[in-house]
Amino acid sequence: MRLRLRDERDEVVVLDKLTYAGRRENLQDFESDPRFSFLHGAIEDPVAVAAAMDGVDAVLNFAAETHVDRSILEPDAFVRTHALGTFVLLEAARERGVRFVQISTDEVYGSIAEGSFTESSPLDPSSPYSATKAGADLLVSSYRHTYATETLICRGSNNYGPYQYPEKLIPLMVLNALAGDRLPVYGDGQNVRNWLFVEDFATGIGHVLEHGVPGETYNIGGPDECANIDVVRRILELCGRDESLIDHVTDRPGHDRRYSLASEKVASLGWSASTRFDDGLERTVAWYRDNPWWWEPIRSGAYREYYQRQYGRSLERPAP
């Protein structure tokens, strides 16, 4: 949305429930832009959805419960948002003949030891998060087959960059490193992710919105893969800290070992990622370092309780 308002002449309506990770502060750059409007509401509420969809040409469903660890602790919100919410949006798109883009994830394919998943790889999700995202993808496809709704699906790999809530690996580790707190690495740290800078995902979704073939799915993967422990080491280096802050903690139950996407299909629409992981990570660390106004309120209050519950310890500096 940030890029579309800056680089295109789009008008954008944001419908957001503003749960724990949704923050009005993320939108403050556009609040006075006449091409932007904000509605506070849930995608599973047909009244809110009808208000948001009034007069639009396309709907992009970014709304999701995204965090795998939270889906293991409390799966109900994931079923509600991904199943019911996607259904309500699809119904509204069908009634209005509006193009519908579902923002999905590489996790619907499950883990892959070698090689990369293509769009025709079987779905094999392993957490309540990815299973409900896979269910939503199937529902989206059914609206193409059954009602001829103009649906498209974008499956992205691990995003990182500014404004990411610090429960995800990269912002969590950056903020802990800047503060001199412990960096909790799950298991042996050898799990591999395919890192995609957020602006590259945004331009990929824009390509699919404009040039994608209705009914098709497009993988949008990052240019580089990296094991978690190497991501963490690089962050420590960028923050001027040493590896004594690394804390190997109990592994995530059912932890997927490796994700990897083949993105030739979206490349054939003219898209490619422009940010390599090393550069994107450096930019991301700089953004968090320069914007404490954004993360300081998060690292206090409810977030500290979540951290205690998740890692079984407090968010504090290790004893010297």
Active site residue 288: no
Q: Catalytic pick from 129, 160, 259, 288?
A: 129
Sites of contact with ligand DAU (CB under 6 A): 66-68, 105-107, 157-158, 168-169, 172, 184-186, 191, 193, 228, 252, 259
Q: Encoding tokens for residue 224?
A: 């580089």
Based on the residue annotation, tell me whether 247 is a catalytic residue of this protein: no
Structure tokens, 192: 């591999």
Complex with ligand DAU: residue 44 or 256, whichever CB lies closer: 256
3-state secondary structure of 219: strand
> Which three-class secondary structure state does DSSP give residue 185?
strand
State the first-to-last Cα distance of the chain, in angstroms, to the nearest integer.
44
CA atoms of 182 and 247, how far apart (whole Å)? 6
Catalytic residue chosen out of the listed positions 16, 44, 107, 150: 107
CB of 113 to ligand DAU, least distance (A): 15
The residue number with the shortest CB distance to ligand DAU is 105
Distance CA 47, CA 64 (A): 19
Which amino acid is it at 24?
R
Instruction: Give the residue with the Cβ less far from ligand DAU, 40 or 313.
Output: 313
153's CB contacts (< 8 A; 6+ apart) are 101, 102, 104, 137, 140, 141, 216, 217, 218
Is there a catalytic annotation at residue 129? yes
Which is closer to ligand DAU, CB of 147 or CB of 287? 287
The two tokens of residue 214 are 């209705």
Closer residue to ligand DAU, CB minimum distance, 186 or 287 = 186
- Neighbouring CB atoms inside 10 A of 282's CB total 12
Of the pair 145, 317, the CB lying nearest ligand DAU is at 317
CB of 38 to ligand DAU, least distance (A): 23
Shortest distance, CB of residue 128 to ligand DAU, whole angstroms?
A: 12
How far apart are CB 187 and ligand DAU at their closest, in Å?
7
Query: What is the Cα–Cα distance from 222 to 13, expressed in whole angstroms?
Result: 28
- Which residue among 44, 106, 137, 200 is the active-site one? 106
The tokens 């592994």 sit on which residue? Answer: 251
Nearest approach, Cβ of 34 to ligand DAU (angstroms)?
A: 32
Rg of the chain, C-alpha, whole Å = 19
The set of catalytic residues is 106-107, 129
